[in-house]
Structure 1
Amino acid sequence: MKKNKLLYRSIIIIAFLCINAGIIYGISQVMAYLNTGADTSKILHLDLARTDYYLPEVTWVSINNPGRPLEFANQQKLEQDYLDAWHVKNLALETNNTDGIYDHYTKSAQEKVNALIAYNAAQQLQIKSTTLSHNISLEFYSADGTIAVLTDKAVTGIENIYRNDQLIKEREFNEDYRIILLLEDGFWRVRHFEKLAINKVVTFDKTIPLDIKLIKGINYYPENYPWDTFNEKVDSTVFAQDFKIIKDLNLNTIRIFIGYEDFGKATVNDLKLKKLQTLLNQAHQVDLKVMISLFDFYGDYDMKNWTLTNQHLKSIISAVKDHPAVLAWDIKNEPNLDFKNRKEERVLSWLSQTIKAVKKIDTIHPVTIGWSNTVSALKLEKEVDFISYHYYEDIAELSTAHQSLKNKTSKPIVLQEIGLPSYDGLWTFNGNTVNDQAAFYRQLLDTQKRDRINYLFWTLYDFNEIPTDVAGSLPWRKNKQAYFGIIDSTGVKPAYLLVKSMN
């Protein structure tokens, strides 16, 4: 009996302790949650490095000051807090929420921003905006280091105005400002914000020609690294061997893909850049031109991230734009597939500003967009230098579809992707053999020669493994992606011999 009583007592005590521990833990979690919610910097992610949320191009035109010189550390702090003030105001105007305004504006400046937010909320307006570039000059810096006056000229950016989530106006801006900032509690806060001038927006209307008579090419991935061309295990030997095969097919162009995350997002990985340069060097060795598709697997077109994608773009294009192998820039692969989930207007707006960003950096090479079909191919026609579309429909209708597109535009047209998988597995009701694939290529090349179509087919190799994030996990969608190549594990397919003989 005594043993049973001791056991019962022990169980009761342990249960009591566990219940109390659970209660204490629950209270602590609630308190942690409430405290986190009260931290504006956490809400706005301003505790992160600015490369994670806002990175417009900044040029200090002048830091000359007759009195106290602006030390480099103070210059960096002033720039950080000033740009954070822009970022916080942009977020506030988008959400009609004043979070963060207190931390970045003095009391009198807060009143003006808050009044604007209240007016927009009453009118059911939301303003999505971002700045893209700043040109800052120091006009005054007080002897005690607590007052700074800046002029910020040619502040460029984009502003979209919505009412009830419906876009009613989109504009680019180029404006001059004078800003007074006060140092309070270790932060530079905006005291006064004055618009000085509205300038003409710089446009890039010049069309850049395609520097090749007729594109005959292929979309390229290494055999063992599909959708992962810049894997650390891929070296110059792999590129050299593959490019020799492509050249022996009498082709003159390859199209490659650069992943936004793979290359490091806003902070581009130097090793990836070196591998890109290696690829270009090997292509140039055998006189192949390279069309570079950017932002592969990127799907967030929100305006608040545009400065990050622009920084990514600048790093890549600046590194290789003078390379003789570069043929053209393809902004994004099949962005129209994101229209439904990301909203067409948002995708098109990002594409438009990204084209401008490319042309600002590189005035030599033409720009295109890799649309997934002919239906979307003429979107942003006036902004690209040539039209690109993909075709995975009835090959018998290719000539008609291409001619229809040609009748609607004066710009060069590239059939950027086309192919047929030699896959007749369990998950297909109407599959294709390697001979079906060869017949497809015969019809393609007959049409291409007759209509003088610029084309790049999909692709050189069959692949052993298809990444799930490329085609999903459904076997009837995923499996066929492995069999588009004209070379398989046993050697060349009949389509390979046909391509070689007809080019």
Structure 2
Amino acid sequence: MMAKKNLYRALLLLSFLAVNAGIIYGLAAAWSFLNTGADKSAILHIGGTIEQAYQPKIIWTIEGQRGRKISKQALGELEKDYLNAWYVKNIALNSYDQLGIADYYTEDARKQVNNLVQNNQDNHVRIATTTLSHHPQLEFYSLDGKLAVLTDHNVVQFEKVYIDGTLVHQQRTLHSYQVILMLEDGFWRIRQMVKIPNPDETENEPKQLSFDTKKWRGINYYPKDNPWNMFGRTFDESYIQKDFRTINTMGLHSVRVFVPFEVFGGASVKEEMLAQLEKLLDIAKEHNLKVLVTLFDFYGNYDLMDWTLTHRHAETIVSRLKSHEALLGWDIKNEPDLDFESRGKDNVLGWLSEMAKQIKQNDSIHPVTIGWSTPEAAVHLANEMDFVSFHYYEAPENFTERFLALKDSVYDKPLVLEEYGKSSYSGIWNLFSNSEDAQASYYEKMQTILTKEQLPYFIWTLYDFETVPSSVVGRKPWRKAPQKYFGLIDSEGKEKPAYRIIDGKRKGTTN
């Protein structure tokens, strides 16, 4: 009997302790929540950290800062919350959703944001906007670490203004701001942000590039066994060595390669991928080849809120390779005009125009182009490019007229036929109406025209491929089958008749 009483007492005591522990834990969790704020990524519904969605370039100046010297960690926290404040405001202006504003603006400051957003909503105005770069100078950091004053010089911002869903205005602006921030409940919050005049700065004249496209004779390159998938685990230096030796032996001088955006890591470019791309350029140099790098392949999101991520992708690659002796130039995007209908022509062109500026800021030496899918599409942004590139896969008989029309439209801009070729596929999907000899005849006609017009070119492509990913041409077999047979060399390594048409050294026409 006594044993049962002791057991009951023990159970009651344990229950009491468990209940109290639960209460204490709940109070502690609530206190922690109130002091640190809700999870920032959850607030903004972005499925990850804000840093994964918004990465404008930021360069700090802390020399001459007054007050307490700021630590690297404290500066990092200040930077993070300051950029987050810009991000949540951009979201609010675009969607009228003000979640997150309370975390990054003090009470008085968020009233101003709320009034602005409400006024826009009442007038059916929506502003899609993002900042592209910041140059904050820390003016003051208080002794208690709870007050910071900075001047953000030359903030580059791009915005599109919509009224009732119709785009009425878009612009790229440059402004400077005086900003006061307070540390409250674990967040740096903007207390005041005032636009101030920009300092007078003399814009640097763009450098005149020196390059000669007339001798460019090249080929679009993928290895035979892993087309559209040459980087990562499938990267094989020995195959590239062999293929580049073959390309050089043919009398060609250059290759065009493609950087798949997501595979390379998007905004956070993977070191492994970057090292492999650099190694490819090293191999090209060994074989006296130059490389035209297409920076964005398999990329199709031109949304303004995504711009800074693509800028970091380009900045990382361009900064790493811009001094490489084998680098020929930069091709921003492969056939972006094919995205006009699905993504919006203005969105695509706006992204391309800004990307060209970003690349030239990081590399003022190498030329920049865009790989348009047709001669007609290549008139877009021609004045902003260093040379104009286009693709052509139709009958040789129609080429000259369309080429000359483009030439007249872009005046003195150098032109490059960046992709051209003909499949040798003969099968059920084209009623066995083609052949390798027909492919050779196509090249013979095209090479005659290109020689006459002194038009530089990149052939599509070195090899036939046994497999073509559905992501390239879709799942329809009548589209996939021809795509496998564009090579000058078949999938077994045998030279096709077209190879002998292109082989400049064999014909004694390597220049």
> TM-score of the superposition, structure 1-length normalised?
0.89
The residue type equivalent to 2:416 in the other structure is: V
Relative to 1, partners in 2 of residues 1:84 and 1:370: Cα closer, same or farther, differing over 3 Å? same
Contact 2:66/2:139 (<8 A) preserved: no
Partner of 1:413: 415
Matched residue, 2:426: 424
Correspondence list, 1:131-170, <5 A: 131-170=131-170
Contact 1:41 1:100 in 2 (8 A): no
Counterpart selection for 1:479 from 475, 481, 500: 481
Q: Please give the residue correspondences for 1:251-266 in structure 2 after superposition, counting only pairs within 5 Å.
A: 251-266=252-267
State the match for 1:463 in structure 2: 465
Q: Aligned letter for 2:385?
A: V
2:499 pairs, out of 453, 473, 496, with 496
Partner of 2:171: 171
Q: 1:463 aligns to what SS in structure 2?
A: coil
**Partner residue of 1:306?**
307
1:277 Cα offset (Å): 1.2
> Quick one: which amino acid aligns to residue 379 of structure 1?
H
Offset from partner CA, 1:243-267 (integer Å, 9 cap, x none): 1111111111111000111111111
Instruction: Please show how residues 277-356 of structure 1 align to structure 2 within 5 Å.
Output: 277-356=278-357
Deviates more, 1:202-211 or 1:160-169: 202-211
Counterpart contact for 1:466–1:481, Cα < 8 Å: yes
Confirm or deny that 1:77 pairs with 2:80.
no
Residues 225, 231 of structure 1: 8 Å contact kept: no
State the shift of 1:497 in Å.
Answer: 1.2
Residue type at the aligned position of 2:223:
P
Look up the match of 2:371.
370
Counterparts in 2 of 1:125 and 1:226: CA distance versus 1, 3 Å = same
Amino acid at match of 2:419: E
1:92 aligns with 2:92: yes
What is the DSSP-based 3-state SS (H/G/I as helix, E as strand, rest coil) of the residue aligned with 1:427? helix
Preserved contact between residue 224 and residue 491 of structure 2 (Cα < 8 Å): no
Alignment CA distance shift 1:337-1:204 (3 Å): farther
Q: Deviations over 1:12-55 (max 9, x none)?
A: xxxxxxxxxxxxxxxxxxxxxxxxxx977415247734441111
Kept in 2, the 8 Å contact 1:209–1:385? The answer is no
* Displacement after TM superposition at 1:301 (Å): 0.6
CA displacement at 1:205 relative to structure 2: 5.0
Q: CA deviation at 1:236?
A: 2.3
> Separation in 2 of the partners of 1:381 and 1:201?
26
Residue 498 of structure 1 aligns with an amino acid whose one-letter code is: I
Gaps of 5+ in 2: 1-37
Are 2:358 and 1:357 equivalent residues in the alignment?
yes
Corresponding residue for residue 190 of structure 2:
190
User: 2-side partners of 1:419 and 1:66: how far apart?
Assistant: 65
Which secondary structure state, in structure 1, belongs to the residue aligned with residue 170 of structure 2? Answer: strand
Q: 1:204 to 1:405 in 2, by over 3 A?
A: farther
What is the aligned partner in structure 2 of residue 23 from structure 1? none
Partner of 1:8: none
SS at 2:379 equivalent: coil
Shift of 1:239: 1.4
1:444 pairs with 2:446: yes
Contact 1:218-1:456 at 8 Å conserved across structures: yes
Q: What letter is aligned with 1:484?
A: F
Partner AA of 2:478 in structure 1:
W
Deviation at 1:415, TM superposition (A): 0.5
Deviation digits for residues 58-96 of structure 1 (CA, Å, limit 9, x no counterpart): 111116544322122111111100000000101111112
Q: 1:390 aligns to what?
A: 391
Looking at structure 2, the residues matched to 484 and 157 of structure 1 have their Cα atoms a distance apart, in angstroms, of: 44
Cα distance in 2 for partners of 1:341, 1:204 equals 37
| 1:68 equivalent in structure 2 | 68
Is the CA contact 1:392–1:418 (under 8 Å) kept in the aligned structure 2? yes
Root mean square deviation, CA, Å: 1.9
3-state SS of paired residue (1:300): coil
Amino acid of the residue matched to residue 473 of structure 2?
A
* The 10-residue stretch of structure 1 (101-110 or 224-233) with the greater mean CA deviation from structure 2: 224-233
1:181 and 2:181 aligned: yes
Structure 1 residue 211 displacement after superposition? 3.8
> Residues of 2 paired with 1:285 and 1:224: CA distance?
23
Q: Which moved further from structure 2: 170-179 or 330-339?
A: 170-179
Moved more, 437-446 or 129-138: 129-138
Could you list the runs of 4 or more consecutive aligned residues of structure 1 that deviate by over 6 angstroms after TM superposition? none
Verify the 8 A CA contact 2:423 2:439 in the aligned structure 1.
Answer: yes
Match of 1:235 in 2: 236
Aligned partners of 1:459 and 1:486 also within 8 Å = yes
Aligned residues: 466
Distance 1:201 1:265 in 2: 34
Kindly tell me: are residues 372 and 43 of structure 1, through their superposed partners in 2, closer, same or farther at Cα, counting changes over 3 Å? farther
Q: Is the contact made by 2:94 and 2:128 (CA closer than 8 Å) also made in structure 1?
A: yes
Query: Mapping of 1:2-81 within 5 angstroms?
Result: 41-45=41-45, 48-62=48-62, 64-81=64-81
Segment of structure 1 superposing worse, 38-47 or 286-295: 38-47
The answer for the alignment partner of 2:27 in structure 1 is none
Deviation at 1:231, TM superposition (A): 3.6
Deviation of the 1:425 alpha carbon: 1.6
Give the conservation status (yes or no) of the 8 Å contact 1:247–1:286.
yes
Contact 2:213 2:456 in 1 (8 A): no
Secondary structure of the structure 2 residue equivalent to 1:421? coil
In structure 1, the residue matched to 2:116 is 116
Contact 2:214/2:455 (CA < 8 Å) preserved in 1? no
- Larger mean CA deviation between 366-375 and 403-412 belongs to 403-412
Equivalent position of 1:246 in the other structure: 247
> Cα distance 1:463–1:133, how it changes in 2: closer, same or farther (>3 A)?
same
Structure 2: distance between partners of 1:205 and 1:433: 49
Cα-to-partner distance string for 1:374-414 (whole Å, 9 max, x where unaligned): 11101001111010000012211111211121122210000
**Equivalent position amino acid for 2:241 in 1:** A
CA distance in 1, matches of 2:222, 2:319: 24
How far residue 429 of structure 1 moved from its aligned partner, in angstroms, is: 3.8
Q: Distance in 2 between matches of 1:170 and 1:137?
A: 28
CA distance in 2, matches of 1:102, 1:54: 19
Please give the TM-score of this superposition, normalised by the length of structure 2. Answer: 0.88
